[in-house]
Amino acid sequence: MTGIRASLMQRDVIPFYLSLAALAGGTLALDAGLHLANAVWIGRYLGIPGVLLILASSGYSMRKRKLISSGKPADLLHWHERLAWAGSLLILVHAGIHFNAILAWLAVGAMLINIASGLTGKYLLGRSRQRLEATRTRLRARGLSPEQLEERTYWDSLTFDMVKSWRVVHLPITLAFSVLALAHIIAIFLFWGWQ
Protein backbone atom coordinates (compact mmCIF):
# COMPACT_ATOMS: atom_id res chain seq x y z
CA MET A 1 0.00 0.00 0.00
CA THR A 2 2.89 2.36 0.75
CA GLY A 3 4.26 1.75 -2.77
CA ILE A 4 0.92 2.72 -4.30
CA ARG A 5 0.79 5.94 -2.27
CA ALA A 6 4.41 6.75 -3.17
CA SER A 7 3.64 6.07 -6.83
CA LEU A 8 0.55 8.28 -6.70
CA MET A 9 2.56 11.01 -5.00
CA GLN A 10 5.41 10.80 -7.55
CA ARG A 11 3.32 10.47 -10.71
CA ASP A 12 0.39 12.74 -9.95
CA VAL A 13 0.55 14.95 -6.88
CA ILE A 14 4.14 16.20 -7.13
CA PRO A 15 3.99 16.99 -10.89
CA PHE A 16 0.72 18.87 -10.34
CA TYR A 17 2.23 21.11 -7.66
CA LEU A 18 5.51 21.44 -9.54
CA SER A 19 3.60 22.73 -12.59
CA LEU A 20 1.89 25.37 -10.47
CA ALA A 21 5.14 26.23 -8.67
CA ALA A 22 6.99 26.53 -11.99
CA LEU A 23 4.35 28.95 -13.23
CA ALA A 24 4.60 31.06 -10.07
CA GLY A 25 8.41 30.90 -10.03
CA GLY A 26 8.66 31.70 -13.73
CA THR A 27 6.35 34.67 -13.26
CA LEU A 28 8.39 36.01 -10.35
CA ALA A 29 11.70 35.45 -12.18
CA LEU A 30 10.54 37.14 -15.39
CA ASP A 31 9.04 40.05 -13.44
CA ALA A 32 12.23 40.41 -11.38
CA GLY A 33 14.31 40.31 -14.58
CA LEU A 34 12.24 43.14 -16.06
CA HIS A 35 12.67 45.18 -12.88
CA LEU A 36 16.44 44.57 -12.77
CA ALA A 37 16.77 45.53 -16.44
CA ASN A 38 14.72 48.66 -15.78
CA ALA A 39 12.30 47.43 -18.46
CA VAL A 40 9.09 47.13 -16.43
CA TRP A 41 7.22 48.86 -19.28
CA ILE A 42 7.58 45.65 -21.34
CA GLY A 43 5.22 43.90 -18.92
CA ARG A 44 2.43 46.21 -20.07
CA TYR A 45 2.60 44.63 -23.52
CA LEU A 46 3.14 40.98 -22.53
CA GLY A 47 -0.63 40.46 -22.34
CA ILE A 48 -0.83 40.54 -26.15
CA PRO A 49 1.53 37.60 -26.86
CA GLY A 50 0.09 35.85 -23.80
CA VAL A 51 -3.43 35.99 -25.22
CA LEU A 52 -2.15 34.93 -28.64
CA LEU A 53 -0.41 31.89 -27.12
CA ILE A 54 -3.57 30.91 -25.25
CA LEU A 55 -5.62 31.30 -28.44
CA ALA A 56 -3.07 29.17 -30.31
CA SER A 57 -3.47 26.49 -27.64
CA SER A 58 -7.14 26.06 -28.53
CA GLY A 59 -6.29 23.79 -31.47
CA TYR A 60 -6.71 20.75 -29.22
CA SER A 61 -10.21 21.81 -28.17
CA MET A 62 -11.19 22.53 -31.77
CA ARG A 63 -9.89 19.13 -32.90
CA LYS A 64 -11.82 17.35 -30.13
CA ARG A 65 -15.02 19.08 -31.21
CA LYS A 66 -14.28 18.24 -34.86
CA LEU A 67 -14.09 21.92 -35.83
CA ILE A 68 -10.74 21.14 -37.46
CA SER A 69 -9.53 17.83 -38.83
CA SER A 70 -5.78 18.32 -38.95
CA GLY A 71 -3.33 17.29 -36.26
CA LYS A 72 -3.02 14.32 -33.96
CA PRO A 73 -5.01 14.79 -30.73
CA ALA A 74 -2.06 13.68 -28.55
CA ASP A 75 0.26 16.20 -30.24
CA LEU A 76 -2.35 18.94 -30.02
CA LEU A 77 -2.88 18.20 -26.32
CA HIS A 78 0.88 18.50 -25.77
CA TRP A 79 0.90 21.89 -27.54
CA HIS A 80 -2.27 22.97 -25.69
CA GLU A 81 -0.59 22.39 -22.34
CA ARG A 82 2.68 24.10 -23.28
CA LEU A 83 1.20 27.10 -25.10
CA ALA A 84 -1.45 27.73 -22.43
CA TRP A 85 1.24 27.57 -19.72
CA ALA A 86 3.52 30.01 -21.58
CA GLY A 87 0.61 32.35 -22.36
CA SER A 88 -0.50 32.28 -18.73
CA LEU A 89 3.04 33.10 -17.62
CA LEU A 90 3.12 36.18 -19.85
CA ILE A 91 -0.34 37.28 -18.71
CA LEU A 92 0.62 36.93 -15.05
CA VAL A 93 3.69 39.11 -15.61
CA HIS A 94 1.48 41.54 -17.54
CA ALA A 95 -1.01 41.64 -14.66
CA GLY A 96 1.65 42.63 -12.15
CA ILE A 97 0.25 44.07 -8.97
CA HIS A 98 -2.34 46.68 -9.86
CA PHE A 99 -5.04 46.52 -7.22
CA ASN A 100 -7.12 49.22 -8.93
CA ALA A 101 -7.73 47.07 -12.01
CA ILE A 102 -10.71 45.00 -10.82
CA LEU A 103 -11.71 43.63 -14.24
CA ALA A 104 -8.15 42.59 -15.01
CA TRP A 105 -7.82 40.82 -11.66
CA LEU A 106 -11.12 39.01 -12.19
CA ALA A 107 -9.77 37.80 -15.54
CA VAL A 108 -6.48 36.72 -13.93
CA GLY A 109 -8.39 34.94 -11.15
CA ALA A 110 -10.52 33.08 -13.69
CA MET A 111 -7.36 32.19 -15.63
CA LEU A 112 -5.68 30.79 -12.49
CA ILE A 113 -8.76 28.72 -11.66
CA ASN A 114 -8.77 27.54 -15.28
CA ILE A 115 -5.10 26.50 -15.03
CA ALA A 116 -5.73 24.60 -11.78
CA SER A 117 -8.79 22.95 -13.35
CA GLY A 118 -6.84 21.94 -16.44
CA LEU A 119 -3.96 20.50 -14.43
CA THR A 120 -6.38 18.68 -12.14
CA GLY A 121 -8.08 17.15 -15.15
CA LYS A 122 -4.78 16.20 -16.70
CA TYR A 123 -3.43 14.37 -13.66
CA LEU A 124 -6.72 13.06 -12.23
CA LEU A 125 -8.04 11.78 -15.55
CA GLY A 126 -4.72 10.13 -16.43
CA ARG A 127 -4.50 8.46 -13.04
CA SER A 128 -8.09 7.20 -13.21
CA ARG A 129 -7.58 5.77 -16.69
CA GLN A 130 -4.38 3.99 -15.62
CA ARG A 131 -6.00 2.55 -12.51
CA LEU A 132 -9.04 1.26 -14.43
CA GLU A 133 -6.88 -0.36 -17.12
CA ALA A 134 -4.61 -1.95 -14.50
CA THR A 135 -7.64 -3.42 -12.75
CA ARG A 136 -9.05 -4.76 -16.03
CA THR A 137 -5.68 -6.27 -16.99
CA ARG A 138 -5.33 -7.93 -13.59
CA LEU A 139 -8.86 -9.37 -13.78
CA ARG A 140 -8.36 -10.60 -17.36
CA ALA A 141 -5.21 -12.39 -16.20
CA ARG A 142 -7.32 -14.21 -13.61
CA GLY A 143 -9.46 -15.53 -16.47
CA LEU A 144 -12.68 -13.62 -15.82
CA SER A 145 -15.27 -13.59 -18.58
CA PRO A 146 -16.22 -10.27 -20.20
CA GLU A 147 -19.46 -10.24 -18.19
CA GLN A 148 -17.61 -10.86 -14.92
CA LEU A 149 -15.05 -8.24 -15.87
CA GLU A 150 -17.85 -5.74 -16.53
CA GLU A 151 -19.47 -6.58 -13.20
CA ARG A 152 -16.22 -6.31 -11.22
CA THR A 153 -15.18 -2.98 -12.79
CA TYR A 154 -18.65 -1.41 -12.79
CA TRP A 155 -17.97 1.04 -9.96
CA ASP A 156 -14.48 1.87 -11.23
CA SER A 157 -15.91 2.50 -14.71
CA LEU A 158 -18.64 4.67 -13.23
CA THR A 159 -16.06 6.63 -11.23
CA PHE A 160 -13.89 7.05 -14.33
CA ASP A 161 -16.89 8.36 -16.27
CA MET A 162 -17.51 10.89 -13.49
CA VAL A 163 -13.86 11.95 -13.50
CA LYS A 164 -14.08 12.43 -17.27
CA SER A 165 -16.87 14.92 -16.63
CA TRP A 166 -14.37 17.36 -15.05
CA ARG A 167 -14.63 19.10 -18.43
CA VAL A 168 -18.14 20.12 -17.41
CA VAL A 169 -16.41 22.37 -14.86
CA HIS A 170 -13.36 23.25 -16.96
CA LEU A 171 -15.32 24.55 -19.97
CA PRO A 172 -17.46 27.12 -18.08
CA ILE A 173 -14.35 28.35 -16.28
CA THR A 174 -12.64 28.72 -19.66
CA LEU A 175 -15.67 30.65 -20.93
CA ALA A 176 -15.65 32.92 -17.85
CA PHE A 177 -11.95 33.60 -18.34
CA SER A 178 -12.52 34.34 -22.03
CA VAL A 179 -15.38 36.76 -21.35
CA LEU A 180 -13.47 38.57 -18.58
CA ALA A 181 -10.29 38.76 -20.68
CA LEU A 182 -12.25 40.09 -23.66
CA ALA A 183 -13.95 42.70 -21.43
CA HIS A 184 -10.51 43.73 -20.14
CA ILE A 185 -9.15 44.03 -23.68
CA ILE A 186 -12.14 46.11 -24.80
CA ALA A 187 -11.77 48.35 -21.74
CA ILE A 188 -8.09 48.86 -22.58
CA PHE A 189 -8.95 49.90 -26.12
CA LEU A 190 -11.62 52.29 -24.86
CA PHE A 191 -9.57 53.92 -22.11
CA TRP A 192 -5.98 53.55 -23.34
CA GLY A 193 -5.52 57.24 -24.04
CA TRP A 194 -4.48 56.99 -27.69
CA GLN A 195 -2.52 60.22 -28.21
Which tens digit of pLDDT belongs to each residue from 159-169? 777 767 777 77
Least confident of 26-35, 95-104, 113-122, 140-149: 95-104
Q: Is the pLDDT of residue 106 over 60?
A: yes
Check residue 138 and give its pLDDT: 85
Q: Is the pLDDT of residue 1 over 60?
A: no
Distances (CA, A) of 59 to 38, 106, 119, 194: 36, 25, 18, 33
Check residue 62 and give its pLDDT: 86
Query: What is the rounded CA–CA span in Å between residue 71 and residue 57?
Result: 13
Query: What is the rounded CA–CA span in Å between residue 45 and residue 55?
Result: 16
Q: Do the Cβ atoms of 84 and 115 come closer than 8 Å?
A: yes
Query: What is the rounded CA–CA span in Å between residue 163 and residue 124?
Result: 7
Check residue 102 and give its pLDDT: 74
DSSP three-state, residue 97 = coil
Q: Do the Cβ atoms of 115 and 88 come closer than 8 Å?
A: yes
Check residue 49 and give its pLDDT: 95
Check residue 139 and give its pLDDT: 82
Q: Is the pLDDT of residue 5 over 60?
A: no
Instruction: List, in order, residues 6 or more apart from 30 with CB less than 8 Å away.
Output: 89, 93
- Could you write out the DSSP letters of every residue in 128-145? HHHHHHHHHHHHHHTT--
Check residue 100 and give its pLDDT: 59
Query: What is the rounded CA–CA span in Å between residue 118 and residue 177?
Result: 13
> Amino acid letter at 165?
S
pLDDT tier at 11, thresholds 50, 70, 90: low
Residues 135-190: pLDDT tens digits?
888 888 888 888 888 887 777 777 777 767 777 777 888 888 888 888 888 888 88
pLDDT tier at 193, thresholds 50, 70, 90: low
> How crowded is the C-beta side of 156, counted as CA atoms within 13 Å?
16
Q: Do the Cβ atoms of 149 and 139 come closer than 8 Å?
A: yes
Residues 28-80: pLDDT tens digits?
899 899 989 999 889 888 988 998 999 898 888 888 888 888 888 888 888 98
Check residue 4 and give its pLDDT: 46
